[in-house]
């Protein structure tokens, strides 16, 4: 996993992620999809800050943020003109921008984050936010705010753990903020500790889920494993092996099971893995 600055060649991948993580309407209605990109993605890629999550050599998520509300509002003007031409979105845009304006004195920055579902719950969200906050702090930004939809309980819990406080809320969701320059050393240390432990939790959870899936799959072939054990320990395997050595078996026959080491090594590796699991710390 790598987090790096946005590059122009990332543009198409990031706009695709924006739509993939948006509402179904944004993916099925071209007009709504265009609005989503104009308001939540394109302005940040062109004028603001963007950090890209790279995994498997490809962008899998990002965090977009603007450090100064007044600059952001000016940069938004041409995009708002395009949004007005689409029709029907002016009130929504005004509501979100008015929220930013109300708290801009204390929280001049705002941000949002999107990660493809297949790459969530691995600590990447925490890592992206951590990198963005480092940049904002280094640039002297006083605070950052964001909005969370009411139905997105996972995101709400995530930001609360990172120290964000509720600024206001209504039936649709809530606005949250985090002060960056007025915290004392204790608060900074506490926030960093929680973020680090949250990343540990995400990594452990992801590792456990992978292990559980692997154990479930292994359990499903336990009958095949027992068949292999009995076959390898029987005289039948020896007979098949000797016939193969004599060239009595068809040339195109797959015969890895007749290797003297294949079944033995598999059984031995599984035994070593089981012994290794017994050595894990007791929880």
What domains appear along the chain, each with residue ranges and CATH number?
Answer: 2-209 (3.40.630.30), 221-278 (no CATH)
Contacts of 277 (CB under 8 A, 6+ apart): none
What the block records as the tokens of 99 is 């929220």
CB 178 within 8 A of CB 163: yes
What the block records as the tokens of 6 is 């946005």
Q: At what angle do helices 185-220 and 153-161 cross, to 10 degrees?
A: 130
Taking only the tens of pLDDT, the chain with its 283 residues reads: 899 999 999 999 999 999 999 989 999 999 999 999 999 999 999 999 999 999 989 999 999 999 999 999 999 999 999 999 999 998 889 888 888 999 999 999 999 999 998 888 888 999 999 999 999 998 999 999 998 887 888 888 888 988 899 999 888 789 999 998 765 455 567 777 788 888 888 888 888 888 888 888 888 988 988 888 888 888 888 899 889 888 888 988 998 888 878 888 888 888 888 887 777 765 5
Q: How far, in Å, are 21, 158, 222 from residue 172 at the CA level?
A: 18, 18, 50
């Amino acid at each position: 996993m790598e987090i790096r600055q946005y590059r122009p060649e990332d543009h198409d991948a990031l706009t695709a992620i924006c739509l993939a993580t948006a509402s179904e309407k944004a993916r099925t209605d071209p007009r709504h999809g265009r609005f989503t990109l104009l308001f939540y993605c394109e302005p940040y890629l062109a004028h603001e800050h963007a950090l890209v999550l790279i995994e498997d050599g490809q962008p899998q998520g990002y965090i977009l943020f603007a450090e100064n509300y007044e600059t952001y509002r000016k940069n938004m003007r041409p995009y708002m003109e395009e949004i007005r031409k689409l029709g029907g979105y002016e009130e929504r845009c005004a509501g979100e921008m008015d929220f930013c304006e109300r708290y801009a004195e204390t929280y001049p920055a705002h941000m949002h984050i999107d990660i493809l579902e297949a790459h969530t719950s691995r600590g990447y969200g925490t890592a992206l936010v951590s990198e963005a906050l480092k940049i904002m702090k280094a640039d002297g930004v006083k605070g950052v705010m964001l909005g969370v939809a009411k139905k997105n309980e996972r995101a709400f819990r995530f930001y609360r753990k990172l120290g964000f406080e509720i600024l206001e809320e209504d039936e649709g969701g809530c606005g949250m903020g985090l002060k960056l320059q007025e915290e004392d050393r204790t608060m900074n240390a506490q926030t960093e500790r929680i973020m680090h432990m949250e990343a540990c939790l995400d990594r452990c959870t992801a590792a456990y889920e992978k292990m559980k899936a692997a154990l479930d799959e292994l359990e499903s072939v336990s009958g095949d494993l027992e068949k292999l054990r009995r076959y390898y320990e029987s005289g039948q395997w020896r007979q098949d092996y000797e016939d193969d050595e004599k060239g009595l078996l068809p040339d195109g026959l797959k015969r890895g099971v007749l290797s003297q080491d294949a079944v033995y090594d598999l059984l031995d590796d599984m035994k070593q893995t089981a012994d290794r699991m017994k050595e894990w710390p007791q929880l």
